[in-house]
Structure 1
Amino acid sequence: MSIGPAAGAFGADRVARRTTILTVVLLCGATLLVAFLNKARCAGSPFRADGRSAAFDYIKDARVCYSDIQFLWLGRDIDQHIFPYVHGGITADGTLTGGAVEYPVLSGLLMWLGALGAHNDAAFLLRSALLLAPFALVTAWLLARLAGRAALLWAAGPPLVLYAFHNWELPVVCTTVAAAAMMASTRYPLRVRGALAAMLLGLGFCFKIYPAIFVVPLMLYVLTGGEREHAEPRVRRRPDIAGALITGAAAAVTVAAFNLPFALAGYEGWRASIEFQQQREADITTNSIWYWGLRPLFGSDPLSSSAFSEIVSIASPTLIIVSFAVALWAGWRRYAESGVYPWLGVSGAMLCGFLVFHKVHSPQYTLWLIPFLVLLAVPWPVVWSYLVADIAIGVGVFRYFYTMGTGDSVELMEAVVRFGVWGRATLLVLLFWLFLKVPLRAPRTSAGDREPGDLMNEAGRRTHG
């Protein structure tokens, strides 16, 4: 029996797809090694009595090798190997005590696990990197399956080098991408996929808060019948209210299952993580439009500083909520036109609104955004422009701090930081609208190739027209 041209082409596509996936994962592993070596330049002997690398405070900004992982070896009782939250609390001045940390429970648990057997910050950094790296590799594998060569943006891009081991972001990104992969599958009915994806987003909430915002567009996707493979764009079916409620309940139950044990065992320590974030202000370390845009309008006296903080505490959450509402409304408009609610594009737009208006915009948050740039067909010049602005922040802000410490002129580095802050904010506004309009990126394994029968692309074309 001879193999026809179509079968041969399909077999070649499968080989090319597997080669692409393998290449992406291997390159991701190489990038992670570079990322670790970059941060490890700040760690090593000689050590102080408390396990801090003696050189850390002197070189972290100059060499741009600072990481929150190494920094938080001290100040959160991680070096004392105290189990997080259970015995903790927060003082009136915002100091965390007794093992409390400022992150949700699963991130705190990872911090504790990374410290087991470690007696200095270098060992803590290494053990934490070993815990985190698998999440980045799984993310690379999933993105390569969903978007082909575009996944190289995650696997070999500057953000992974700069931020892979800057903080504990890799697990939460992995859960978000896994939720997208679950919704792209055809293995289970829509209700089941929605519930499983919601559980993954709930799990992500327990690492870092932001995936919770994606549950609402996911519920709307299930409510409106998902991809509607056999439906005409303007044909309406009965809303699946039960399916939407099951999706929301799955996320809520997952969050409760991981948080309740900590809340019951030590409520004050569990609540301290929330209180810490509420008390945090938009200062020079937060890289937000509030500090670089609104703060200069206020004086330097305590009363002016207090007024600035009060305005930000109201304006920031208000504008975030407004941006969420606009994204959800725009998604509903797309649903009215196409018959499919673009839950992934709406989720990306909501993330952009959060990043623009939140009072804190840490450099490593770029890792949250990269999967959306991979999965949605954003024009590549926009992607490259965002990376340039991000590098200006990821590198420039630490050089800025270093220059301030030396007493030299800071004008150049301050200009770099301003460029990064405003360039990034401007592009996030652009991405807000692009995410709502562009289709899902067609996975390519070689020049001109497209994966056959890919559900995400078919749904994306119907959704975005």
Structure 2
Amino acid sequence: MSNRLVTGGPVTDRRAGARLSVAAITSTLLCAVTLVLAYLNKARCAGGPFEESGRSIIFDLTKDSNVCYSDIQFLWVGRDINEHVFPYLSGGITPDGQLIGGAVEYPVLSGLLMWLGGIGADNDAAFLLHSALLLAPFALLTAYMLGRLAGPAALLWAAGPPLVLYAFHNWELPVVFTSVAAVYVVTVMTRYSLRARGIAAAILLGIGFCLKLYPGIFLLPLLLHVLLGEHAEYDPRARRYDVRGALMVAAAGVATVVAINLPFALAGYQGWRASITFQQLRQADITTNSIWYWGLRPQFGNTAAAETSFQNVVSLASPLLVLASFALAAWIGWKRYSITGMYPWIGVSGAMLCGFLLFHKVHSPQYTLWLIPFLVLLEVPWSLIGVYLLADAAIGIGVFRYFYQLGEGNVADIEERIVQFGVWGRAALLVIFFFLFVWAAPRRLDLLGVPGAEGRALGPVSTTGHIAPATRTAA
């Protein structure tokens, strides 16, 4: 098997950099067009006449039948956004799990974005527009970074169906930005030491944790990457472990989370704590699109006692399996490190996300936006990506048609089958992606991180795209 070096000198670097720049700009421009379509899709549910609360009357009439529902518009009422109450400083949660006052169910930075989107709005249509304008720059920056990292593959993010369906479904775009920005910092900004890049990335992941939690799980593979280093060393006697750097990465991430949350916790503990309690009390029901409801729930009876038993099982099994998947992903990453001399922190992060999405009791449709960057960054077969997008559309579109038919009292057998195809199709592919991610090479490895690419430290790459064991010379 013949090998080729990752980069070929200054001329190759300049040409590769130019191609990546074109890909990044193209991706950003197409993303802007997609965002307009995404807004128009959701705006079909918004507009006068309005109820006294500022809710669009058309929203309740068409949100499911026309598949234009968004959490942004829905939460205009019920979280005191329409009253312009600053979140978390007041309110709390009732014993039956209902949020009251200024409490919201999301971490503090998402709550802050919700409040900012409501400034100047007196109805849900204006709130949707203001929120879209607030969120759009994060999608554009993500498109640019993915273009710089992965070339044309970034179009999956910038012009794919998920962005149309979910860009303004919830407040996901900022948190996706923080995850991609962490990868960008570690991979591209190689003029700085790995330790410095790791600390900067940890801060970004800490910010992401304060938006939607999930980027926090990437801190483990990141600190392992910093601990082990990015240059392959196969002589155990020559290895140098940066223990101090790994501890600094962990401390930076934790300190960021504490610094952001502490003011809210001190100013209004009950309102701040309510967001955590809400998620703890949330049940695996028909709205969660999880394998637990569609796979395990039918094994229990239809009594209230059976429902309680089911929820108790899920509350125990779900977190245990999520944690087990994290451990398995980290261990497989270590096995790859023992072969290639490089810890695949991006692939391990993607695998951990797959485990979370598969076993968590809630799998909302817009979570697909979390996964798309990993499908862009890592060499996953496009055929599998196409099937995943099909299954995702079955949820993102089919579940609302299913709710509409149930709400009308109609038979919904066809819609239910579509939803189940989406649930089990996504679940099967998440299992496949879990293992593929850890072993996958980065897309456009020959162009990755130009100039001064991290790819240079990966050693020779075979013509099949797999990373061959690096030598000191190649490194």
TM-score, normalised relative to structure 2:
0.92
Q: CA deviation at 1:457?
A: 3.5
Alpha-carbon distance change, 461 to 406 in structure 1, aligned in 2, over 3 angstroms: farther
Task: Look up the SS of the partner of 1:206 in the other structure.
Answer: helix
- Tell me which of 453, 465, 468 is aligned to 1:455: 453
Alpha-carbon distance change, 134 to 122 in structure 1, aligned in 2, over 3 angstroms: same
Task: Look up the SS of the partner of 1:207 in the other structure.
Answer: helix
Provide the rounded CA distance (Å) in 2 between the counterparts of 1:186 and 1:326. Answer: 29
- 1:417 matched to 2:419? The reply is yes
Map of 1:89-168 to 2, 5 A cutoff?
89-168=92-171
Equivalent position amino acid for 1:204 in 2: G
Provide the rounded CA distance (Å) in 2 between the counterparts of 1:311 and 1:410. Answer: 28
Structure 1 residue aligned with 2:212: 208
Structure 2 residue aligned with 1:195: 199
Structure 2 residue aligned with 1:282: 284
Structure 2 residue aligned with 1:333: 335
Provide the rounded CA distance (Å) in 2 between the counterparts of 1:280 and 1:413. Answer: 25
Structure 2 residue aligned with 1:378: 380
Alpha-carbon distance change, 130 to 122 in structure 1, aligned in 2, over 3 angstroms: same
Q: CA deviation at 1:312?
A: 0.3
Task: Look up the SS of the partner of 2:397 in the other structure.
Answer: helix
Equivalent position amino acid for 2:138 in 1: F
- Tell me which of 287, 296, 317 is aligned to 2:298: 296
Alpha-carbon distance change, 401 to 248 in structure 1, aligned in 2, over 3 angstroms: same
Map of 1:15-34 to 2, 5 A cutoff?
15-34=18-37
Structure 2 residue aligned with 1:353: 355
Q: CA deviation at 1:238?
A: 2.8
Provide the rounded CA distance (Å) in 2 between the counterparts of 1:391 and 1:405. Answer: 21
Task: Look up the SS of the partner of 2:89 in the other structure.
Answer: coil
- 1:343 matched to 2:341? The reply is no
Q: CA deviation at 1:403?
A: 1.1
Q: CA deviation at 1:15?
A: 3.8
Provide the rounded CA distance (Å) in 1 between the counterparts of 2:209 and 2:11. Answer: 44
Provide the rounded CA distance (Å) in 1 between the counterparts of 2:108 and 2:251. Answer: 20
Provide the rounded CA distance (Å) in 2 between the counterparts of 1:301 and 1:83. Answer: 41
Provide the rounded CA distance (Å) in 1 between the counterparts of 2:448 and 2:141. Answer: 22
Structure 1 residue aligned with 2:242: 240
Cα deviations by residue, 1:238-279 (Å, 9 ceiling, x for unpaired): 321111000000001100110000000001100000000000
Answer whether contact 1:439 1:461 (CA < 8 A) is retained. Answer: no
- 1:222 matched to 2:220? The reply is no
Equivalent position amino acid for 1:205 in 2: F
Q: CA deviation at 1:455?
A: 2.4
Structure 1 residue aligned with 2:38: 35
Equivalent position amino acid for 1:196 in 2: A
Answer whether contact 2:149 2:448 (CA < 8 A) is retained. Answer: no
Structure 2 residue aligned with 1:170: 173
Provide the rounded CA distance (Å) in 2 between the counterparts of 1:63 and 1:236. Answer: 62
Greater alpha carbon shift after TM alignment, 127-136 vs 336-345: 336-345
Provide the rounded CA distance (Å) in 1 between the counterparts of 2:343 and 2:441. Answer: 12
Alpha-carbon distance change, 212 to 73 in structure 1, aligned in 2, over 3 angstroms: same
Greater alpha carbon shift after TM alignment, 377-386 vs 170-179: 377-386
Task: State the superposition RMSD in angstroms.
Answer: 1.9
- Structure number with the bigger relative contact order (C-alpha 8 A, sep ≥ 6) is 2
- Tell me which of 350, 354, 368 is aligned to 1:366: 368
Provide the rounded CA distance (Å) in 2 between the counterparts of 1:354 and 1:380. Answer: 23
- Tell me which of 75, 81, 93 is aligned to 2:78: 75
Provide the rounded CA distance (Å) in 1 between the counterparts of 2:10 and 2:239. Answer: 37
Structure 1 residue aligned with 2:265: 263
Equivalent position amino acid for 2:320 in 1: T
Equivalent position amino acid for 2:99 in 1: L
**Deviation above 4 Å: which 4+ runs of structure 1?**
5-14, 232-236, 449-454, 459-464
Provide the rounded CA distance (Å) in 2 between the counterparts of 1:237 and 1:416. Answer: 52
Provide the rounded CA distance (Å) in 1 between the counterparts of 2:175 and 2:206. Answer: 10
Q: CA deviation at 1:173?
A: 0.3
Alpha-carbon distance change, 461 to 324 in structure 1, aligned in 2, over 3 angstroms: farther
Task: Look up the SS of the partner of 2:211 in the other structure.
Answer: coil
Answer whether contact 2:337 2:344 (CA < 8 A) is retained. Answer: yes
Equivalent position amino acid for 1:209 in 2: L
Structure 2 residue aligned with 1:426: 428
Structure 1 residue aligned with 2:4: none
- Tell me which of 171, 184, 190 is aligned to 1:186: 190
Provide the rounded CA distance (Å) in 1 between the counterparts of 2:443 and 2:15. Answer: 21
Provide the rounded CA distance (Å) in 2 between the counterparts of 1:456 and 1:365. Answer: 29
Task: Look up the SS of the partner of 2:121 in the other structure.
Answer: coil
Q: CA deviation at 1:21?
A: 1.5
Cα deviations by residue, 1:331-387 (Å, 9 ceiling, x for unpaired): 111111111111111100000000000000000000000000000111111111111
Provide the rounded CA distance (Å) in 1 between the counterparts of 2:450 and 2:82. Answer: 52
Alpha-carbon distance change, 428 to 7 in structure 1, aligned in 2, over 3 angstroms: closer
Provide the rounded CA distance (Å) in 1 between the counterparts of 2:217 and 2:254. Answer: 12
Provide the rounded CA distance (Å) in 1 between the counterparts of 2:436 and 2:10. Answer: 37
Answer whether contact 2:223 2:247 (CA < 8 A) is retained. Answer: yes
Provide the rounded CA distance (Å) in 1 between the counterparts of 2:125 and 2:444. Answer: 42
Q: CA deviation at 1:458?
A: 3.8
Q: Give the count of matched residue pairs.
A: 455
Answer whether contact 2:149 2:449 (CA < 8 A) is retained. Answer: no
Alpha-carbon distance change, 233 to 157 in structure 1, aligned in 2, over 3 angstroms: farther
Cα deviations by residue, 1:55-78 (Å, 9 ceiling, x for unpaired): 111100001000000000000111
- 1:49 matched to 2:52? The reply is yes
Provide the rounded CA distance (Å) in 2 between the counterparts of 1:199 and 1:143. Answer: 20
Map of 1:435-450 to 2, 5 A cutoff?
435-442=437-444
Equivalent position amino acid for 2:170 in 1: N
Greater alpha carbon shift after TM alignment, 295-304 vs 231-240: 231-240
Alpha-carbon distance change, 233 to 434 in structure 1, aligned in 2, over 3 angstroms: farther
Q: CA deviation at 1:16?
A: 3.3
Unaligned runs of 5+ in 1: none
Greater alpha carbon shift after TM alignment, 30-39 vs 92-101: 92-101
Answer whether contact 1:441 1:457 (CA < 8 A) is retained. Answer: no
Cα deviations by residue, 1:420-454 (Å, 9 ceiling, x for unpaired): 0000000000000000111111168xxxx888656
Alpha-carbon distance change, 30 to 253 in structure 1, aligned in 2, over 3 angstroms: same
